[in-house]
Structure 1
Amino acid sequence: AARALDHAVLHAAETLADPDPLGVIEADDRLGRPADLRVRARRAARNVVLSGASWRYGLRLALCIGLAQSLVSIIDVPRSYWVALTVTFVLKPDFGSVFSRAVLRALGTAAGLVVAAAVLAEVPHGWWDVPVMMLLAPLIPALTTRGYGYQTAAITPVILLLSDILNHQGLGLVVPRLVDSLIGCGITLVAGYLLWPESWGTRIGDRLADAVADTARYVECAFGDGDAAARARMRRGLYRDLSVIRSEFQRALTEPPPTGTRAAAWWPLVVAVERILDATTAARVRIRHGAAAPRPEEVAEVARELRALADRLRASVVLEKGHVNFTNDSQDSVLEPLRQEVGAARAVASPQDR
């Protein structure tokens, strides 16, 4: 708690002393408020046009929807629109692993259909639907926070009861819904997941290595004679990059082995890099408030260790413990906390060569 409070105060001091106040317009501020609408619109348009991930997602979705529609046009599937809807709901990579969403969708649908079948078999049509709906509907927000599978299990009986009110098909809705959902999940797993493999380096390793290398440049900039506005922009960019990397890691953690296992092993390194960036910012604030600036060779040594770590991250996918020895290790230096964080990062993340 004390460390978190210290970091928060140091970040506040750095933000208030920012020499480039107009630069924050280009990014979401630290209070969580969104950027200007024009900036967000321009950012979204740029991502759609230039982002390879956006184009890949569009191709994956088009392929899956095309296969779903082709399949239901060949095979007589009752309520075939549920197949395409299932594909659309599951194939959302930004909401988590497509693999885990497909599996959880299938399991959640099956569990929800058990409840729906019991209700449709025992509850007569008419006003009895009202208290049943009042009982089931609150489960949706209550279980949504537990995960996608729980959310699906809560929504499924409500949707079937609403469909039964309109169509009066009763238990005849259960099997088609199960079949359509399983078909949609299967199409998504094969055409939307297995056919689009991504290497660990492209997805995680290279991004993290780039962040470590950028952190090395930020260390040199923070304690050098560089432009203060450029330093502030570099710091904000690093925090945004680390936020994206953290989100990607959280998605990778839900993937099947080896990706999920590897992400769990690399996760401490993500935390360590964030702490290195925090320690650099804190040291810069202390210098601004009167602490002695570090010698150039101290800064160069820290940056060199970070670049060495970045190079090894690009060349490996397996981590092993290591250590680093700083020759300039004065306990009174403002860089001592930063050196400790770099040493901790190397201790958990010195990769084995391929």
Structure 2
Amino acid sequence: MTSERRTEHIPPGQPRARPASRQLPLTPPAWLLSGLRPSRTPVPWAAVVRAGIAMAAPLAVGFALDEPEYGALVSMGALSGVIGDTADAYRMRILNIAVPQLFGAVGVALGTLVFGHGWLAVGALTLIALVSGMISSIGTVASVSGLLLLLNAAVGAGLPLPKPWWIAPLLLSAGGLFVLALTLLGWPLRGRQPERAAVAGCYRSLAAALEAAGGPGYEERRLEVTQSLNQAYDLILGRRARVHGRNPALVRLLAQLNVLIPLVDAAPAAHLSSRPLPPEVPAAVRALASAVEEGRTGEPVLELPAPHGPSQRAIDTALRHAASIVYRADADPYNADDRLGRPAALRERARRAVREMVLSGASWRYGLRLALCIGLAQALVSLVPVERSYWVALTVTFVLKPDFGSVFSRAVLRALGTAGGLVLAAAVLSEVPRGWWDVPVMAVLAALIPAFTAKGYAFQTAAITPVILLLSDQLNHQGFDLIWPRLLDSLIGCAITLVAGYLLWPESWHTRLGDRLADAVEDSARYVERAFGAADATDADEAAARTARLHARRRIYRELTGVRSEFQRALTEPPPTGARAAAWWPLVVAVERIVDATTAARVRVNHGAESPAPEEVAAITAELRGLAEGVRTSRTPAEVRVGPRPPGAEESVLAPLHQEIVAARAIATEH
């Protein structure tokens, strides 16, 4: 009797489970360990220095003018700017920092006007929470804006701020704009550097994928290629929407990015050939990355070995074409390599986003969840004497952000992070005398925020907590007595969020993972049709088909990135959600491999392989649609039912695709 070794599918970032007989009874659950494990993301040292200066300088000015409260408010505004400074391109940084500051100023003004008005403040903050939650669904900038609107409103309604009412909004906005000014100091020297670095990063990530082709590390490298392409296109197309007319530098960058797509398409074919590529190939791609980053022009010099087989011919052809575009000073003069189209104007996209927000059920549901939790928090602190009660609403707002990850795990991690931050805050408030010593201490504590934010949410919370307490102490002079109330308030806020924002909403623990995955499988079927459905096409039709395939491939890989992110979020949830996500995860990987196999087959056909028969293409698409329907109607992979496997010729160009579909079927029907 032979035994077969099964491959265990373990999601990235998830620890390998111990056997049941050896599981330690006190071992923390995997979803908690994943949040407490620091990320390997490098520390952004420029942001570290900027945060220390941005938050310590206002305090120093406040002490010099004998107005420490004013300095503390400016530093609070700088804190929101430090947290919101997450973009790479300078134009996006203006939006990410300046626009939320406007909403924050409105929020603190509204909060100040209802300070001390009891139930009026409860109603006002509940309504603000509804608006904040709804606008958070529009996009990244809107999400930060909604967050700051509600946070500052809670601060204004809970703290006695300087009079008249317009002083606090003015000072908080000044702090955010100070961060923006520090951020933009490098713009004259590095105006286009973020975009160039993003495009060069795409070339480098692809070089790593080509180097790993045919080996076990390819899948992870391929995912990095997709992520870097998404980031680069977001940067360049976002900037392109705000440029009137043709910008030569921007056109060249977009051409250099677009010309990389044939190389990306050829990578799966090289991987499926199971033969490592010559080392000269990834080395040449890295040389192109350096040329993009440095803006070099001239005649490309490529020393590549003679290609063998369709996949290597595809790599060779795409690489030589990419080199001709990268080194050309007037790249893409006739827009030949600009196939993605011009995005809609910023005003039109904003109008469309607002319309979708108002008509979206998900937007209303999240707004109502946030409004319910904030209303309960404010009603509780109005009925029960809770000292400095604004911290409860702040906790609810930070935890109940759907685009920040799992609500449940964030509530637990925030409680742990707050406890860790309070230990540091206790040492500062008990040992550091109030006054000028607060300036160097603030510089050190503020610098920890960007450094710890890169490591994870619990670490970010631990870094922000002592900063906020030190600033609060400048306003209310309570010192060490702030420690215990802050911990109690955080625990109350986390409890409200877990009950009213998580457990009472079935969508929190009945995820739509199967639906998202089924949509991806259906898109895979359409992608197969686009890749092989056009026969006997004219040159013009073939060019249009190539463009359509490019659109389809970029769309499906971006969608798969979103599916993977959704699964990664669900994996941090406690059972049963986390267990269901882990069960579906192998099928997510299988769908990604199906798309790779389709792309590889199309590349082989383009370089001499025989096209598949229409009947074979139809059978594969029908099978994928059947798999999608099975996934959509099942709660677990074991419940998926699919039809019999259609016959496929072993020598067909689609043979690897057949194999990947068989693997997906085996995963879906596994008991």
TM-score by length of 2: 0.47
SS, match of residue 291 in structure 1:
coil
1:24-56 superposed Cα distances (whole Å, 9 cap, x missing partner)? 435xxxxxxxx7534642552244133322111
In 2: Cα distance, 1:199 partner to 1:115 partner: 34
- Cross-structure match for 1:49: 358
In 2: Cα distance, 1:282 partner to 1:296 partner: 18
Moved more, 343-352 or 57-66: 343-352
- Cross-structure match for 1:207: 516
CA contact (8 A) 1:318 1:351 kept: no
Distance 1:200 1:92, change over 3 A: closer
1:90-127 superposed Cα distances (whole Å, 9 cap, x missing partner)? 11011100111111111111111122112212222233
Moved more, 116-125 or 230-239: 230-239
- Cross-structure match for 1:160: 469
In 2: Cα distance, 1:200 partner to 1:315 partner: 17
- Give, as a single letter, the amino acid of the residue that structure 2 aligns with 1:192: G
In 2: Cα distance, 1:268 partner to 1:319 partner: 9
- Cross-structure match for 2:213: 2
In 2: Cα distance, 1:238 partner to 1:20 partner: 20
Correspondent of 2:653 among 315, 334, 345: 334
Q: Tell me how large the CA RMSD over aligned residues is.
A: 3.1
In 2: Cα distance, 1:300 partner to 1:80 partner: 63
1:32-90 superposed Cα distances (whole Å, 9 cap, x missing partner)? xxx75346425522441333221111111111111111111111111111111111111
In 1: Cα distance, 2:359 partner to 2:338 partner: 28
Does the alignment pair 1:89 with 2:403?
Answer: no
- The runs of 4+ residues in structure 1 deviating greater than 3 Å are 3-8, 10-13, 18-26, 199-202, 229-237, 320-326
1:272-323 superposed Cα distances (whole Å, 9 cap, x missing partner)? 2122112212322332333211012221232233223222212322335999
In 1: Cα distance, 2:511 partner to 2:348 partner: 28
SS, match of residue 507 in structure 2:
coil
- Give, as a single letter, the amino acid of the residue that structure 1 aligns with 2:617: V
Does the alignment pair 1:252 with 2:539?
Answer: no
Distance 1:44 1:243, change over 3 A: farther
In 2: Cα distance, 1:102 partner to 1:309 partner: 36
In 1: Cα distance, 2:622 partner to 2:508 partner: 27
- Cross-structure match for 2:559: 241
Aligned length: 341
TM alignment of 1:98-109, pairs within 5 A: 98-109=407-418
In 2: Cα distance, 1:200 partner to 1:184 partner: 20
Does the alignment pair 1:343 with 2:652?
Answer: no
CA contact (8 A) 2:415 2:494 kept: yes
In 1: Cα distance, 2:489 partner to 2:456 partner: 22
CA contact (8 A) 2:509 2:576 kept: no
CA contact (8 A) 1:10 1:285 kept: no
1:140-189 superposed Cα distances (whole Å, 9 cap, x missing partner)? 22211221111101111121112223332111111221122111111111
- Cross-structure match for 1:30: none
Distance 1:200 1:25, change over 3 A: farther
In 1: Cα distance, 2:506 partner to 2:411 partner: 16
TM-score by length of 1: 0.85
SS, match of residue 342 in structure 2:
helix
SS, match of residue 138 in structure 1:
helix
The alpha carbon displacement at 1:129 in A equals 2.2
The alpha carbon displacement at 1:19 in A equals 9.6
Moved more, 139-148 or 285-294: 285-294
Structure 1 gaps, min length 5: 27-34
- Give, as a single letter, the amino acid of the residue that structure 1 aligns with 2:660: E
Correspondent of 2:342 among 4, 25, 30: 25
SS, match of residue 637 in structure 2:
strand
- Cross-structure match for 1:284: 602
In 1: Cα distance, 2:362 partner to 2:583 partner: 25
In 1: Cα distance, 2:392 partner to 2:435 partner: 29
SS, match of residue 263 in structure 1:
helix
SS, match of residue 653 in structure 2:
coil
- Cross-structure match for 2:483: 174
Distance 1:350 1:239, change over 3 A: same
In 2: Cα distance, 1:349 partner to 1:67 partner: 43
SS, match of residue 292 in structure 1:
coil
TM alignment of 1:317-328, pairs within 5 A: 317-320=635-638, 327-328=647-648
Distance 1:249 1:293, change over 3 A: same
The alpha carbon displacement at 1:338 in A equals 1.6
Correspondent of 1:273 among 544, 569, 591: 591
Distance 1:139 1:199, change over 3 A: closer
1:194-251 superposed Cα distances (whole Å, 9 cap, x missing partner)? 1111287761111211221221132123211287255544434323322221221111
SS, match of residue 455 in structure 2:
coil
In 2: Cα distance, 1:338 partner to 1:40 partner: 38
In 2: Cα distance, 1:204 partner to 1:330 partner: 34
Does the alignment pair 1:188 with 2:497?
Answer: yes
- Give, as a single letter, the amino acid of the residue that structure 2 aligns with 1:330: E
Distance 1:288 1:351, change over 3 A: same
Does the alignment pair 1:313 with 2:622?
Answer: no
- Cross-structure match for 1:76: 385
CA contact (8 A) 1:218 1:234 kept: yes
In 2: Cα distance, 1:154 partner to 1:300 partner: 56
SS, match of residue 386 in structure 2:
coil
Structure 2 gaps, min length 5: 1-211, 226-260, 267-317, 323-334, 536-543
SS, match of residue 25 in structure 1:
coil
In 2: Cα distance, 1:304 partner to 1:61 partner: 43
- Give, as a single letter, the amino acid of the residue that structure 2 aligns with 1:309: L
In 2: Cα distance, 1:330 partner to 1:257 partner: 42
CA contact (8 A) 1:313 1:351 kept: no
- Cross-structure match for 1:32: none
CA contact (8 A) 1:322 1:348 kept: no
Distance 1:167 1:223, change over 3 A: same
Does the alignment pair 1:148 with 2:457?
Answer: yes
The alpha carbon displacement at 1:326 in A equals 5.2
- Give, as a single letter, the amino acid of the residue that structure 1 aligns with 2:342: I
- Cross-structure match for 1:29: none
In 2: Cα distance, 1:159 partner to 1:171 partner: 13
